[in-house]
């Protein structure tokens, strides 16, 4: 094996290993053969690169945010959602026994029958926000900070590339039968949406 090919294999193996840290459940089906050509390695790298269509800035690790900033961002997010859900319920007369409760980092929103209950809660050990939706099931959101200031950013579910507020916009609008505006809330918009460029 040539020295150049050996270096290429080493570099791409390192890149593959790093790329899968964001998704521990994703395992490469087969090891890279020692006699792989550069073209074969390029193909393997392309096939196993997770979320290849997403913005590279989405992979800034939430763990890089200090705990004080993370708690502040969570509080801004959850408290703004509390206020907005209360407003939505007050303005929607068709819901049966709706209710909003919030305490100790856990937001519970019941829309009554037949819609069910949403639970959105802060997970400090994981530095995530977890959502339980009666429509789409459980999801875990990572905070994607602006590289210029960690106080700005948005919450992303890495498995489908959809943000927390995008999902709520779609599902809650369908429940109440009108278009809502979750994107007016803090930490709701992808940075390129606000600035016209990637964050």
In whole angstroms, what is the distance from residue 32 CA to residue 50 CA? 17
pLDDT greater than 60 at residue 195: no
pLDDT greater than 50 at residue 25: no
- Name which residue leads in pLDDT, 132 or 3: 132
- Name which residue leads in pLDDT, 4 or 1: 1
Task: With H, G, I as helix, E, B as strand and everything else as coil, classify residue 182.
Answer: helix
pLDDT at 90: 98
**Structure token pair of residue 86:** 């209360």
CATH no. of 59-195: 3.30.920.10
pLDDT tens digit string along 53-72? 445 444 445 556 889 999 99
Task: With H, G, I as helix, E, B as strand and everything else as coil, classify residue 176.
Answer: helix
In whole angstroms, what is the distance from residue 152 CA to residue 81 CA? 16
pLDDT at 28: 36
In whole angstroms, what is the distance from residue 23 CA to residue 26 CA? 6
pLDDT tens digit string along 78-126? 999 999 999 999 999 999 999 999 999 999 999 999 999 999 999 999 9
Average confidence (pLDDT) over 7-21? 46
- The boundaries of every CATH 3.30.920.10 domain in the chain are 59-195
pLDDT at 65: 83
CB neighbour class for 80 (10 Å; exposed up to 12, middle 13-18, buried from 19) = middle
pLDDT at 181: 98
Distance of CA 1 to the CA centre of its chain: 42
pLDDT tens digit string along 37-57? 444 434 333 333 344 344 544
User: What are the strands of the beta sheet with 153-157, ordered from one edge?
Assistant: 99-103, 106-110, 117-123, 128-133, 137-145, 153-157, 162-163
pLDDT at 59: 46
pLDDT at 48: 36
Q: Which distant-in-sequence residues (6+ apart) come within 8 Å of 146 by Cβ?
A: 152, 153, 191, 199
- Name which residue leads in pLDDT, 152 or 173: 173
In whole angstroms, what is the distance from residue 152 CA to residue 65 CA? 11
Residue 147 C-beta-side C-alpha neighbours within 13 Å: 10
- List C-alpha distances in Å: 172 to 86, 103, 124, 129, 179: 13, 21, 26, 18, 9
Among 19-33, 90-104, 184-198, the least confident range? 19-33
In whole angstroms, what is the distance from residue 124 CA to residue 70 CA? 8
pLDDT tens digit string along 135-166? 999 999 999 998 777 788 999 999 999 999 99
- For the CA atoms of 97, 169, 71, 117, what is the dihedral angle to 10 degrees? 30
pLDDT at 191: 72
């Amino acid at each position: 094996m040539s020295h150049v090919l050996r270096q290429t294999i080493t570099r791409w193996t390192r890149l593959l290993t790093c790329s899968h840290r964001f998704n521990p459940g994703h395992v490469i089906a087969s090891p890279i053969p020692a006699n792989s050509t550069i073209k074969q390695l390029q193909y393997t790298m392309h096939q196993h690169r997770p979320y290849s269509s997403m913005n590279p800035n989405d992979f800034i690790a939430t763990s890089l945010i200090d705990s004080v900033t993370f708690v502040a961002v969570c509080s801004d997010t959850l408290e703004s959602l509390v206020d907005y859900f209360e407003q939505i319920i007050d303005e929607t007369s068709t819901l049966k026994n709706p209710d909003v409760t919030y305490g100790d980092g856990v937001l519970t929103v019941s829309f009554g029958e037949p819609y069910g209950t949403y639970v959105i809660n802060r997970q400090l050990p994981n530095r995530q926000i977890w959502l339980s939706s009666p429509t789409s099931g459980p999801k875990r959101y990572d905070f994607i900070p602006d590289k210029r200031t960690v106080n700005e950013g948005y919450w992303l579910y890495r498995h489908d590339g959809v943000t927390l507020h995008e999902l709520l916009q779609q599902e809650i609008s369908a429940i109440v039968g009108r278009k809502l505006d979750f994107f007016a809330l803090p930490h709701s918009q992808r940075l390129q949406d606000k600035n016209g460029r990637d964050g």
